[in-house]
Amino acid sequence: MPPSTRSATPSPATKPKTANMPQETKGLHLDLDGKVFELPNFTMKEIHDAIPAHCFKPSTIRSMAYVVRDFFYYSVLVYVATKYIPMIPSTPLRALAWAAYTTLAGFVFTGIWILAHECGHGAFSKSKKLNYTMGLIMHSFLMVPFHSWRLSHSQHHKATGNMDKDTAFVPHERKSWLETKFGSKAKDNLVEFAELAEDSPIAVLWHCIIHQLFGWPGYLLFNLTGQKYDGAKGARISHFYFGEDSVFFKPQELSLIMLSDVGVAAMIAGLIWAGQVFGSWNVIILWGIPWLWVNNWIVAITFLQHTDASMPHYDNKTWTFARGATATIDRDLGFIDTHLFHDIIGTHVCHHLVSTIPFYHAGEASEHIKRVMGQHYKADVKTPFWTAFWRNQRTCKFVEESEGQEGSGVYFFRNLYNRPEQTQPKDLTHGAKDVVVKEDKIPVMQAVMSSGRNLDARRRLSQSAQLALPIMAEA
């Protein structure tokens, strides 16, 4: 691996922003929920010093054991599915069993993707050669160009939350969001945008389905949700392109890009061969649909790690590494995360602060960094994962600076919905005298738009179950 107007343009007598904002918060950084934000003040030295030394040390044997475990899980699933599901006499039950298989296999595939992710960060082993070898094998198995992703993902970590340099999930500012959604001639002081701003649930659902199934390959192929790179288009913005004019890669890295493409091509050839030998349907059901599940999980996880009402973004002059690494959030997906997804959802803040910490030490390291970060550590372990996903898809539309903080370089998510509990976008009229507000429309729009609206113990239990093998000793 890469991220506003109110429901009616206010007349001089209608100022939702002013009315909803307490006097004492004017001129402060406000997130979407109206909470005051203060810039982080801790240092990276404080973070590193707080983490026990052993947390930085990967174990080759332990990491390889997870690889063996995950591929063993997949092998068992394939064996059980192919042997027993065809024996089910009822067609609906047989379809249900195949759905259960593809879902579980999708979990396992995502875990394999995450282990390759560990390789890309050097957190899998002390051996760079082994990191690259295992990463190439596992990511090629999932049609991911390992080195291409590794290099661009490294840039994401170096510039997380930087509006000018981040490479993934770069949010729109208001103007670019309006132009993307409504066309290049859009003006943000038109009342009509208030009526168009809130998509219907069906439209949002359709967008989410397309986004989840094809967002990840779209990012690899077309740089969807990534930096604009001065409007670069075509092959130059593809992770598979190894030309010297690539926007991602340096000339000395192009041989690694070619190697990554060879790995993906070898997997495609293997799938074609398997289709001819075992049948195309078997390949689709046993590998293809679980692969689509990987696309879903990777996009959903990454989206929620970097999109939230409390999430700041910065321009280049205000951004620092510590601030950017703090611009992410931990969430909870229960046993699926702690066991199958290798804790990537529950320890992502730690991962961005120190990405070389192996995932099996990240839970412990997180407890130590929380004491340093204080209020700047962000976690939402109460909101169900998919509830948070749906909410943020509908509310976190674009970013802008808080009113009175113009030029600060600190941006928060906003939307056009004029919900009274949320921080409103800045005045849309910009002093325009020719904008007419239909007074009887405001209450109607408000009514319409109001319609959209013990982790550590489990981690220890899950990991103790996984690691009760002699081969898990530190290497």
Return the percent helix, strand and coil in the chain, to nearest 5. Answer: 60, 5, 35
What pLDDT sits at residue 187? 63
What pLDDT sits at residue 470? 36
Answer whether residue 468 is part of any domain: no
The Cα 425–Cα 314 span in angstroms is 17
Answer whether residue 341 is part of any domain: yes
Answer whether residue 101 is part of any domain: yes
Beta bridge partners of 412: 312, 400
Domain that holds residue 79: 16-453
What pLDDT sits at residue 450? 34
Say how many Å lie between the first and final Cα of the chain, rounded.
Answer: 29
What pLDDT sits at residue 443? 36
Answer whether residue 258 is part of any domain: yes
Would the pTM count as exceeding 0.85?
A: no
Answer whether residue 234 is part of any domain: yes
What pLDDT sits at residue 446? 37
The Cα 171–Cα 30 span in angstroms is 17
Answer whether residue 97 is part of any domain: yes
Beta bridge partners of 413: 399
What pLDDT sits at residue 197? 52
Q: How many CA atoms lie within 13 A of 362 on its CB side?
A: 27
Residue recorded with tokens 């064996």:
79
Q: Which residue pairs, CB below 8 angstroms and at least 24 apart, start in 372-377?
A: 372/42, 372/46, 372/47, 372/50, 373/40, 373/42, 373/47, 373/326, 373/349, 374/42, 375/38, 376/40, 376/41, 376/42, 376/326, 377/326, 377/349
If the chain, 475 residues long, is cut into consecutive pieces of 10 residues, what is the mean pLDDT of each piece?
Answer: 36 37 69 94 94 97 98 98 96 97 98 98 97 98 96 94 90 85 64 53 78 84 78 84 88 94 97 97 97 94 95 95 94 96 97 97 97 94 95 92 93 86 72 33 33 46 45 40
Answer whether residue 181 is part of any domain: yes
The Cα 122–Cα 297 span in angstroms is 22
The Cα 61–Cα 72 span in angstroms is 16
What pLDDT sits at residue 183? 72
What pLDDT sits at residue 11? 33
Domain count, the chain: 1
Q: Which residue pairs, CB below 8 angstroms and at least 24 apart, start in 332-339?
A: 332/380, 332/381, 332/382, 332/385, 332/455, 333/385, 334/458, 335/458, 335/462, 336/107, 338/455, 338/458, 338/459, 338/462, 338/463, 339/462, 339/465, 339/466
Answer whether residue 402 is part of any domain: yes
